[in-house]
Structure 1
Amino acid sequence: MSIAYLAPPESEAELMRRAQQIAGKTFAEVASERQIKAPANLQRNKGWVGNLIELALGAQAGSKAEQDFAPLGIELKTIPINAQGQPLETTFVCVAPLTGNIGVTWQYSHVRQKLAKVLWIPVEGERHIPLAERRIGAPLLWQPSEEEDQQLQADWEELMEMIALGRVEAITARQGEYLQIRPKAANNRALTEAIGPSGERILTLPRGFYLKKRFTAPLLAQHFG
């Protein structure tokens, strides 16, 4: 049985129509429509839910650096929530560049590109619900307000300055109001180059930008409350 792929949506309206069509369905129902089998759990299939939603909506970017729906300028983010509609985890935005950052500004950053317009798809994430029976929530198409953009910029600039000054190892998940940097690697052997305290090249774990729950929780509450 081969996967049933969808052509990319040609308009924002078509994308939203597809997102509304899967709202309320279980993972098993949507997987069946795309002719794929739902795994028993996510222990060895961490990105399965995101991949399922991408398939259901016709996203084409995959692991590329561009937005999931690049012609529409829209990024797709699935967000696991509890029964109260609160996010259960932080949201990965993109990989944090640890070298070659001279002259990069917030306006042209990868983070800002990814967050310029986001289609949020909340999904049931509580572990007591069997994976196949978890449901997909109503979609939310969102753009940052001026205030949100300014705070995201302040966080990004603070974190990127630490990277540029060779202080990547000093960055903790507590830093940043909305945006944080955390290690993102399959294991401790997956090292990448970064700048050290004296400007030398060092090896460290890859890092990723994540949106904190204190950012996504009010966003969901405001739109779905």
Structure 2
Amino acid sequence: MTVPHSEQELLDRAKAIAGLKLAELAQSLKLNVPPDLKRDKGWVGTLIERALGADAGSKPEQDFPHLGIELKTIPINGEGYPLETTFVSLAPLIRNSGIDWRHSHLRAKLSKVLWIPVQGERSIPLGERYIGSPILWQPDPLQEAQLQRDWEELMDYIVLGKVGQIHAGIGEVLQLRPKGANRRARTKAVDERGRIIDALPLGFYLRKNFTARILQNFLQNR
């Protein structure tokens, strides 16, 4: 699939796949459907990316950098509530002096997001799960303030060398959690004395209560 040339073209593509089963979309792209997501956790996201023509790949930028849009698939239950938190980006554990919210990677990623809800209940076979209507979202002033407040609190822990004190309970709408291939994954961080240490890679995740409000607001305003 070629890269969409405009926001409207991207939205039209997303609307065109809404209502399809994952197996139907996979078949149109000549892709196989795995039996489940245990060994293919990112399969749904990759499928949607390919269908919409995302070109960022694994680069640390938005999925559609020329449009300034990030793509996020979000698994939901029968009531339309998110089933899991949403990974946004890795946290900068070193070389982070002077970074502010306005110029942060996280803010850039969340400046405009195309959400694609997908049925995520495990009782439904993977290929039989339906793709929902797309939601093109930008944070309103209240949402941005919430994100900024949590980001600044969490970054204070990192900059002050308190990585070991970070836990998933910190933050109202945002949280930091380990983000690695496994518990043995390591990266560099700084301790309270400014020394370089080995630490778990940490990722910023949006809490389910935050993404649930995005979905609810969309349904209410349709």
What CA distance in whole angstroms lies between the structure 2 residues aligned with 1:75 and 1:150?
Answer: 20
- CA deviations on 1:27-65 (whole Å, 9 max, x unpaired) are 000001111111010010010000000001000111101
Segments of 4+ in structure 1 off by > 3 A?
A: none
Matched residue, 1:170:
165
Alignment partner of 2:37: what SS?
coil
The amino acid of 1:217's aligned partner reads A
The amino acid of 2:31's aligned partner reads I
Aligned partner of 2:180 among 174, 178, 185: 185
Matched residue, 1:16:
11
- CA deviations on 1:173-202 (whole Å, 9 max, x unpaired) are 111111100001111221001011221111
What CA distance in whole angstroms lies between the structure 2 residues aligned with 1:203 and 1:134?
Answer: 40
Question: Which runs of structure 2 are paired with 1:153-168 in the superposition (5 Å)?
Answer: 153-168=148-163
What CA distance in whole angstroms lies between the structure 2 residues aligned with 1:202 and 1:64?
Answer: 25
Structure 2: gaps (5+ residues) = none
The amino acid of 1:89's aligned partner reads E
Matched residue, 2:133:
138
Alignment partner of 1:71: what SS?
coil
Give the deviation of 1:99 after TM superposition: 0.3
Matched residue, 1:69:
64
Alignment partner of 2:30: what SS?
coil
What CA distance in whole angstroms lies between the structure 1 residues aligned with 2:93 and 2:174?
Answer: 16
Matched, 1:38 2:33: yes
Alignment partner of 1:112: what SS?
helix
What CA distance in whole angstroms lies between the structure 2 residues aligned with 1:114 and 1:188?
Answer: 26
